[in-house]
Amino acid sequence: MNTADDAGVFRLNDDCALVFTIDILTPTVSDPYVFGQIAAANCISDIYAMGGEPRLALNIVGFPNHGDPETLGEMLLGGQHTSQKAGVLTIGGHTFTTKEIKYGLSVVGFVDPHRIITNAGAKPGDIIILTKPIGVGTLIQASLVNKDAHIDMQPVITQMTTLNQSAAQAMKSVTTHAATDITGFGLLGHLVEMAEGSKMGIELYARSIPVHEGALDLIKNDLVEPGIPMNQIAFANRVETKDVTVPMTLLMYGSETSGGLAIVLPEDQLERFRELYPQPAPVIGRITKDHPGRVLIRGQACFSNLS
């Protein structure tokens, strides 16, 4: 709890512990089925980030009193289908009346108490890899204000509906010292929490961070989604930049929905991880003893031999 980790863990016995999480979202897309998929992937991700195996879920639904039942049904169906892909059984839930739609899951998983992966185990010299591009919040905001006419939103939707399951499986098959999933607090917020929890510093290399096409151009044209100032207020006092452009810095503060895993592991484990997870997962930074509890972002390229 005191390191703001992704989920709570309760030991049942020497060999098994529960991993328990809850989250709820407002719609990020207009299609209710797709939104259900996104919400489920986002909520289940917290279990993956802890090294757990998700197993059970309860739906949590806020819905307008006179809302369309078909919309509700499609949303729940999307969530159920994504949960099923993760091997998660939905066994009930709770609904309440709201002015705007809200949907999420409470998810229970299992983990070996001796193999829990937290956000507080990073060690000096470790590298950080990221399994999905950033910029989702900015692109969603663009779609909400009709400024996405020349942007292909399909890669963003595909990312948000994709489970972090295969990356989590690869992570558990190598020596992993820490992990977190990148969601509402943005890349910088979640990594600040990791730096504080691990009592280590983090150095990020801006040119190594994957970004969705079009996101930086939107920020350059003064589109700033609400998560950016919110996360700046919360975390900027523990972030330092050096030779980094303002748009890229702002994007790293942006909120993400169903983002990737930031995985921290020794450099000698990278090749094995990539054998198990052949999808793009660039090295974006390193753990250091310097500036503990803080994140330093450098603008110059680095890790050319690891990219």
Return the percentage of the chain with pLDDT > 70, whole number: 97
pLDDT digits (tens, 9 = 90+) for 132-180: 999 999 999 999 998 887 889 999 999 999 999 999 999 999 999 999 9
Please give the Cα distance from 267 to 271 (Å, whole number): 8
Please give the Cα distance from 28 to 148 (Å, whole number): 14
Residue type (1 letter), 89:
L
Please give the Cα distance from 167 to 139 (Å, whole number): 24
**φ, ψ dihedrals at 184, nearest 5°:** -60, -30
* Residue entry with tokens 């980094």: 244
Q: Which CATH architecture has domain 127-298?
A: Alpha-Beta Complex (3.90)
Q: What residues does each domain of the chain span?
A: 8-111, 127-298
User: Can you give the three-state secondary structure of 210-254, one letter per residue?
Assistant: CECCCHHHHHHCCCCCCHHHHHHHHHHHHEEEECCCHHHHHHHHC
For 8-111, CATH gives: 3.30.1330.10
pLDDT surpasses 80 at 124: yes
Confidence band (pLDDT; 50, 70, 90) for 306?
A: low
pLDDT digits (tens, 9 = 90+) for 77-113: 999 999 999 999 999 999 999 999 999 999 999 999 9
Q: Which residue, among 177, 127, 176, 122, has the nearest Cα to 292 in the 3D structure?
A: 122
C-alpha to C-alpha distances, 234 to 90, 230, 239, nearest whole angstrom: 34, 7, 11
Strands across the sheet containing 16-25? 8-13, 16-25, 102-111, 53-63, 89-97
Q: What kind and span of H or E run contains 173?
A: none
Confidence band (pLDDT; 50, 70, 90) for 307?
A: low
- Supply the pLDDT for residue 192: 98
Identify the sign of the CA torsion 150, 155, 158, 162: negative
Please give the Cα distance from 248 to 207 (Å, whole number): 9
pLDDT surpasses 90 at 118: yes
**φ, ψ dihedrals at 3, nearest 5°:** -110, 10
Q: What pairing do the DSSP bridges indicate for beta strands 283-288 and 8-13?
A: unpaired
pLDDT digits (tens, 9 = 90+) for 183-235: 999 999 999 999 999 999 999 999 999 999 999 999 999 999 999 999 999 99
